Amino acid sequence: MPSYDGPLVFEGVAATLERAIEVATMKIPPRPNRDFVTAHVVEFGMQYGGIALQKMFFAKVVEDPDSQFKPTSP
Q: What is the CATH number of the domain that holds 27?
A: 3.30.1660
Contacts 24+ apart (CB under 8 A), 35-38: 36/69, 37/63, 38/63, 38/64, 38/65, 38/67, 38/68, 38/69
pTM of the model: 0.77
Instruction: Quick: pLDDT tens for 10-53.
Output: 999 999 999 999 999 999 988 888 888 889 999 999 999 888 88
Range of the domain at 46: 9-63
Q: Are 8 and 64 in contact (CB under 8 A)?
A: no
Residue 2 forms part of a structural domain: no
- Cα gap 71→64, rounded to integer Å: 16
Residue 34 forms part of a structural domain: yes
- Cα gap 20→13, rounded to integer Å: 5
pLDDT at 49: 86
